[in-house]
Structure 1
């Protein structure tokens, strides 16, 4: 008792109603909602289908790949917690907990070879530097580097390692992008309490530049 609303997802859930309307009437609204345009969303559903599609069970139908992707994108775009997402999409929190990590990994495996290409030769790095110089007037620059604190629960036995200067526990996502805002390198996992210099020195890119 009390969970019947989950059976009416197609009538009231955000995936079955709002995105479909936005797709037809307001593509910019669709982008604001999921942070991608409808055409890219459909492409992603098609490309992730073989990885994420599951079979129907006796007691319930399998969740659509489009639904899983929409929930994941909304979570990544808005930072909404699983309990909040369960009410807007009419899905149980346990289901969301299961499939969001799988969808994220599927996106990485499918798109990383295409969209995240770190230069490996001097000529490739020189091309990046030339773009920074011609587009932004930054000379001898091979990209824009910055970090982001990703909030986490305090790890067991972590002490103050992950407690950052903003007064919450986190891991650090550090990324390098080129002059056209394209990511070239990403490093995730440094303790939130680490400084910028220490985080940089420990990452693979810093070691590659130092020893090559």
Structure 2
């Protein structure tokens, strides 16, 4: 009797298990069919999207072809820029009557240095006159570029001041910067490669700053930029704004002898130095050296201050003061660079490659002004001292 009941119970259990398996199998087939339908719909939507993008591409090409071939330009320039009177802009009307001091304040160099700069770049930026219109003279093109670099004005303001098209201003500026970097950079930013050159710089450094065997002061500065569209956090520095770094070596007369331009603002000065050509060059400097702050690594040819501690020996304190007096020249050089060329103080709303181009150009022009002993006004430095990146 008990065995019959057990067999009946087991039979019932097997029927229940079989029924449950059948239901799960049917449910699994239903889920599989549902997932298959979802995949098919996704594939269909992807195909439709691809076809739509292809049609949009065709429309874009047709529009470009229409504007390139089917529509002629209505105007070569704005009507107010085509007047026959040559004395319409400030450059032709007022600048010739400026005093020498006002000319320096407006273009950051004297007329003599301006003329020398024009002669150097003339073969590379001179344009030919055509039957349609007269070309912009070289002197005016250089003046446009210098005015853009010395101020933080927008291109519209500069265009109105010189009575040229707004799009002409960046064209002239970048062309001028390319010529300066290709032609003048090797002339005005030169690292002292020979022992004789290092000796001359070291003698000047000692006579002005009383630090022996030193031929340069090293430091870095940040140039603010607009937040880049790619890798923005790499350019966000410890001062809480986006920037690129300029690592520079400066001689005793505020002239740059080595520059490394364009590293992201998040990279510290020591890391830039360790990967730079300057570190390699210092290994062959012989008995001569450079000075830097405590952020840089101590080397046989790179002197840095002692760590300030309680009970520091008097000899160490005296050494720190002498080194600080020699090292501050690079900070003064950065201040003079930004004071002269104020475009470096605003967030540059341009491509990063153009930012590097602008910075290198300003450094070359700075060295040119320092070589010519151009005046540097206290009012320029006051603006630098009171400036804060917004």
TM bracket, shorter-chain basis: 0.7 to 0.9
Structure 2 spans left out of the alignment, 5+ residues: 1-74, 286-390
Matched, 1:5 2:80: yes
Counterpart-to-counterpart distance in 1, 2:209 and 2:273: 24
The TM-score normalised by the length of structure 1 is 0.85
Deviations 1:56-81 (A, max 9, x none): 24433211111110011111122333
Deviation at 1:129, TM superposition (A): 2.1
Q: CA deviation at 1:36?
A: 0.7
Q: Distance in 2 between matches of 1:82 and 1:166?
A: 28
2:90 maps to 1:17: no
Cα displacement (A) at 1:105: 2.0
What is the CA deviation profile of residues 110-140 of structure 1, one whole-angstrom value per residue up to 9, with x for unaligned ones? 3333322211134432332222112111234
- Out of 238, 251, 259, the position equivalent to 1:165 is 238
Unaligned runs of 5+ in 1: none
Deviation sequence 1:167-203 (CA, Å, 0-9, x none):
3322222222211222211221111222222222232
Q: Give me the whole-angstrom Cα distance separating, in 2, the residues matched to 1:162 and 1:82.
A: 25
Partner of 1:106: 179
Structure showing greater relative contact order (alpha-carbon pairs closer than 8 Å, 6 or more residues apart)? 2
Query: Whole-Å Cα distance in 2 between the matches of residues 206 and 5 of structure 1?
Result: 55
- Counterpart of 1:182 in structure 2 is 255
In the aligned structure 2, how far is the partner of 1:164 from the partner of 1:19? 41
Stretch deviating more after TM superposition (153-162 or 30-39): 153-162
- Residues of 2 paired with 1:190 and 1:147: CA distance? 11
Matches within 5 A, 1:1-212: 3-7=78-82, 10-22=86-98, 26-210=99-283
SS in 2 for 1:154: coil
**Structure label with greater radius of gyration:** 2
- 1:172–1:181: structure 2 CA closer, same or farther, 3 Å change rule? same
Q: Give distance in 1, aligned partners of 2:274 and 2:243.
A: 19
Q: Assess, with a 3 A threshold, how the Cα gap between structure 1 residues 166 and 43 changes in structure 2: closer, same or farther.
A: same
Provide the alpha-carbon RMSD of the alignment. 2.5
